[in-house]
Amino acid sequence: MKSLFAVALGILTAIGGFLDIGDLVTNAVVGARFGLSLAWVVPVGVLGICVFAQMSGRVAAVSGRATFEIIRERLGPRMAVANLCASFLINLLTLTAEVGGIALALQLASSVNPKLWIPVAALAVWLVIWRVKFSVMENVTGVVGLCLVMFAVAVFLLGPDWGQLADQVFTPSLSDGENLAAYWYYAIALFGAAMTPYEVFFFSSGAVEEKWTVRDLAKSRLNVLVGFPLGGILSVAIAALSAIVLMPGGVEVSSLSQVLIPVAEAGGKLAVAVIILGIVAATFGAALETALSGGYTLAQFLGWSWGKFRRPVEAARFHLTMLVLLIVAVGVLMTGVDPILVTEYSVVFSAIALPLTYLPVLIISNDPQYMGEHVNGPVVNAIGTVYLVIIVAASAAAIPLMIVTGAGQ
Partner 1 sequence: MSTSEHPSTGTDRGGRLIDARLHLLDRQILDCDGVPVATVDDIELSGIESDGGGTSSAPRIEAILTGSTLMTRIFGGRLPRSRLHRITWDDVAEIGITLRLRVRSESLDATWPERWVRDQIISRIPGGRHAPD
Partner 2 sequence: MLLTDLLDLPVHDHNGDRVGWVCDIRFRIPARPAASDSGGVASPEVVGILLSPRRRGSYLGFERTDVHAPVLLAWWIRWRHRGTCLVPWSDVDHVEDGAVVLDAQYRRESPLLSR
Which chain residues interact with partner 2 by CB under 8 A?
74-76, 362-363, 366-368, 375-376, 378, 381, 384-385
Q: Give the CA diameter of the chain.
A: 59
Q: How far apart are CA 39 and CA 236, in angstroms?
A: 6
**Could you say which of partner 2, partner 1, none residue 305 binds, taking C-beta under 5 to 8 angstroms by partner kind?**
partner 1
Nearer to partner 2, 330 or 388 (CB): 388
Residues 191-210 binding partner 1 (CB under 8 A) are 208
Q: How far apart are CA 55 and CA 380, in angstroms?
A: 9
Contacts of the segment 106-111: beta carbons below 8 A, 24+ positions apart: 106/280, 108/256, 108/257, 108/260, 108/276, 108/279, 109/276, 109/280
Query: Binding mask 70-109 vs partner 1 (x if CB under 8 A, - otherwise)?
Result: --xx---xx--x----------------------------
DSSP string, 324-364: HHHHHHHHHHHTT--HHHHHHTHHHHHHHHHHHHHHHHHHH
Nearer to partner 1, 53 or 322 (CB): 322
* CB within 8 Å of 94: residues ≥ 6 apart: 20, 22, 198, 286, 290, 343, 346
Q: Contact between 371 and partner 1 (CB under 8 A)?
A: yes
At CA 128, angle to CA 126 and CA 131, rounded to 5?
A: 100
**Could you say which of partner 2, partner 1, none residue 378 binds, taking C-beta under 5 to 8 angstroms by partner kind?**
partner 2
**Could you say which of partner 2, partner 1, none residue 390 binds, taking C-beta under 5 to 8 angstroms by partner kind?**
none
Q: Contact between 319 and partner 1 (CB under 8 A)?
A: yes
- Rounded to a whole number of angstroms, the minimum distance from the CB of residue 311 to partner 2 is 29
Nearer to partner 1, 115 or 131 (CB): 131
For residue 371, the surrounding DSSP H or E stretch is helix 368-371
Tell me 146's DSSP state.
G
- Rounded to a whole number of angstroms, the minimum distance from the CB of residue 213 to partner 2 is 23
Q: Contact between 317 and partner 1 (CB under 8 A)?
A: yes
Helices of type H across 76-132: 77-110, 114-131
**Could you say which of partner 2, partner 1, none residue 306 binds, taking C-beta under 5 to 8 angstroms by partner kind?**
partner 1
Question: Contacts with partner 1: how many residues (CB under 8 A)?
Answer: 39
Nearer to partner 1, 69 or 344 (CB): 69
Among 110, 161, 311, 389, binds partner 1 (CB under 8 A): 311
Q: How far apart are CA 319 and CA 294, in angstroms?
A: 10
- Rounded to a whole number of angstroms, the minimum distance from the CB of residue 389 to partner 2 is 9
Residues 104-133 binding partner 1 (CB under 8 A) are 130-133
Q: Contact between 213 and partner 1 (CB under 8 A)?
A: yes
**Could you say which of partner 2, partner 1, none residue 134 binds, taking C-beta under 5 to 8 angstroms by partner kind?**
partner 1
Q: Contact between 177 and partner 1 (CB under 8 A)?
A: no
Among 170, 173, 211, 382, binds partner 1 (CB under 8 A): 211
**Could you say which of partner 2, partner 1, none residue 64 binds, taking C-beta under 5 to 8 angstroms by partner kind?**
partner 1
- C-alpha distances in angstroms, 91 versus 201, 287, 293, 318? 11, 9, 7, 15
Q: Contact between 396 and partner 1 (CB under 8 A)?
A: no
- Comparing C-alpha atoms, which of 292, 287, 283, 239 is closest to residue 262? 239
Q: How far apart are CA 81 and CA 378, in angstroms?
A: 30
User: What angle separates helix 197-209 from helix 346-364, to the nearest 10 degrees?
Assistant: 50
Q: Contact between 65 and partner 1 (CB under 8 A)?
A: yes
Residues 340-369 binding partner 1 (CB under 8 A) are 369
Nearer to partner 1, 316 or 386 (CB): 316
Answer whether 239's CB lies under 8 Å from 233's CB. Answer: no
Q: Which residues bind partner 1 (CB under 8 A)?
A: 62-65, 69, 72-73, 77-78, 81, 130-134, 136, 208, 211, 213-214, 302-306, 308, 311-314, 316-317, 319-320, 369-373
